[in-house]
Amino acid sequence: MHTYHDIASLRRRLQAERQSGLRIGLLPTMGNLHAGHLALLSDLAAACDLTVCSIFVNPTQFGVNEDFSRYPRTLSQDQEQLQAAGCSLLFAPDVSEMYPKGSEHNTVVSVPGLQDVLCGAHRPGHFQGVATVVSKLFHIVQPDVAIFGEKDYQQLAVLRRMSEDLNFPVRIIAGATRRDDDGLALSSRNQFLDAEERQRAPMLYKTLCQVRDAIQNGLRDYRMLESSARGLLDKSGFITDYLSIVDARTLQPADVNCQHLTLLVAARLGHTRLIDNLSLSLAETPASLP
């Protein structure tokens, strides 16, 4: 596995690989890799001939008082993991390479209707930063296929809409959420939980499962279910940003006529913000989501 730090060198390499007929896949990350990332890489490898992983801690998706400065930079360890996992190429640019005029003067990509709800309402500008940097990565790498994890469900929806609206010739794969044995979704932020918080963290997924089960058993008062679930989390020591039952495609609040639902939650334990989701179909024939 070779690591590239500049766009020009990476493009030259990829042009040669593309001309030889190889299908190129992209896994965008911010590094500090864990088993969930490596599982996504494995899923990606099954869909292409050459895998490119990018590691870039993108400043434009961090808001005021968020954790950009303390986000772990673990490039050496990440390189070792990617090498062992069979990654073909690593792209690890610095901020000046991705934003040569400064991130505050960079052209931005917005995705109306999806970027300002749920996490977007609590993290203004976050999804604009995500859409912008992924758009840049799509232009740089020109992948045939890219993969994003379902754990970041809203991000996946935003990027699918962006790719469709901007006519990127990229097939986007949704990678299944990987979980620890107790149900906690794998995330780089889990390392910030102390021992007591880590014991409580699986309650997030357990609560989603309880809401899902209630819906599958016929309960349709979604606003009551949301309120009850938020109260349960708050009593368990979380500070809940939202727990919402939404239309899986539009991310708008679900009503009784909605057949494809996603349950999304964001809550804090101590200083750590955790997210999770579950999707379910009430239709006879399940659809591909989101």
Residue positions annotated with a catalytic role: 37
Residue in the block written with tokens 């840049």: 136
Task: Write b or e for each residue in 149-169: b if 16 or more Cβ atoms lie within 10 A of its Cβ, otherwise e.
Answer: bbbbbbbbbbbbbbbeeeebe
Whether the link from the prior residue into 290 is cis, omega within 30° of 0, is yes
With 0-12 / 13-18 / 19 or more C-beta atoms within 10 angstroms meaning exposed / middle / buried, residue 57 is middle
Contact 280, 211 (CB under 8 A): no
**φ, ψ of residue 145 in degrees (nearest 5):** -145, 145
Map 15-33 to HEC letters. HHHHHCCCCEEEEEECCCC
Query: Helix (H, G, I), strand (E, B), or coil: what is residue 263?
Result: strand
Indicate the pairing of strand 50-55 with strand 145-149: unpaired
Whole-number Å distance between alpha carbons of 249 and 189: 27
Residue type, 272: T
Whole-number Å distance between alpha carbons of 194 and 281: 36
Whole-number Å distance between alpha carbons of 130 and 177: 19
